[in-house]
Amino acid sequence: MRTPICERLGIEVPIFAFTHCRDVVVAVSKAGGLGVLGAVGFSPERLREELDWIDARIGDKPYAVDIVIPQKYEGIGTLDPAELEKQLSAMVPQGHHDFAATLLREHGVPEWPDQDERIGLLGWTEATAAPLLEEALKRPNVKLIANALGTPPKDMIDRIHASGRLVAALCGKVKQALQHKRNGVDIIVAQGSEGGGHTGEVGSVVLWPQIIDAVAPLPVLAAGGIGNGRQVAAALAMGAEGVWCGSLWLTVAEAAAEPEEKECYFAATSEDTVRSPSWTGKPARMLRNDWTEAWAAPQNPKPLPMPLQGLVSADAMRRTYRYVAVAETRKVGFHPIGQVVGQIDHVETSRGVVQRLLQEYADTLERLNRITDPD
């Protein structure tokens, strides 16, 4: 399995692993794919630590960094993070904070140890992404910068190109893909509605070929609902140059998630996910639970636009992540994952996942060859 994009990025196989875990980034890149570190929620200092750790262990293998700059969000145009946070905080009704706090209290989620510890903006803005980009561009092994929401600002694309790197951007609509192309994005990631995290409404099998045809000859990575080699083969058969996976890496041996978090995923079916704006303010696919249901109930507060809802949910994110071992906590925790969760039922190593995808892909081609040429 080798496509032109492998040559451009210096990788062996076109398997891209989006993850927030540095261990997974290293393991996938060493296995021949491209580890992509999701940097949203990191401070510049924290990202520096993560990238230092990766650089010390990844050898000469390439990797990527994913940041988040939506095309539309409250406070757009304010580039000073402190001023933006002050401006946005004043826009959040106290009732939303109270409602979130009540949900956590009713489910027995322990309080954060240091009540004075600031959370701040978790990301989702140009003001918070720019310092992360600056840190990523210092790393020679970072060969690709990806943007998870919308087309990156033109000056940011130009700066990445000037550094000799490629730019990728995710999208869930054909018109978004065309805007990416017009603005100079090098790689389009077409993510179907099945995917975890922020997704659109169009399914992968319908979306992928439409975007591939619309932006040709620009390379397209297929995302959303890829959990085995048969699905990889389907994506490449439609014209994709590779696959972008996220959900697969949430439960691997190297993932930082607690055992209880992984068990949530192993026990879930594909029908247990929902697209909800209750955590970030934009629809994102995750496991349905008491938190997502409460914010969807008509009598309760409605989720605020991005990034305001993130200011409401930030405390819940950190508390439910830390205290996921508390059973009731998992009922109001943030569990972003795609519909492929129904295919995930045990722990694998990251290298094992890459090898399995390749073997299943080869088996699929062999089967197709038997069908098309039975003699």
Q: Tell me if the bond preceding 307 is cis, omega within 30° of 0.
A: yes
- CA distances to 26, 50, 60, 150 from 56, in Å: 10, 10, 10, 32
Q: What is the pLDDT of residue 89?
A: 87
Torsion, Cα 150 155 160 164, to 10 degrees, reads: 130
d(CA 283, CA 86): 25
**Structure tokens, 374:** 């039975």
Residues 34-69 have pLDDT tens digits of 999 999 888 899 999 999 999 999 999 999 999 887
- 198-217: average pLDDT: 97
Flag whether pLDDT at 123 surpasses 70. Answer: no
d(CA 120, CA 25): 26
Please tell me the pTM assigned to this model.
Answer: 0.92
* 71/351: higher pLDDT: 351
**Structure tokens, 65:** 């960094």
Flag whether pLDDT at 88 surpasses 70. Answer: yes
Residues 135-144 have pLDDT tens digits of 999 999 999 9
Residues 328-346 have pLDDT tens digits of 999 999 999 999 999 999 9
Flag whether pLDDT at 124 surpasses 70. Answer: no
Flag whether pLDDT at 120 surpasses 70. Answer: no
- The domains of the chain, with CATH numbers, are 1-73+124-256+347-370 (3.20.20.70), 79-122+269-336 (no CATH)
Flag whether pLDDT at 197 surpasses 60. Answer: yes
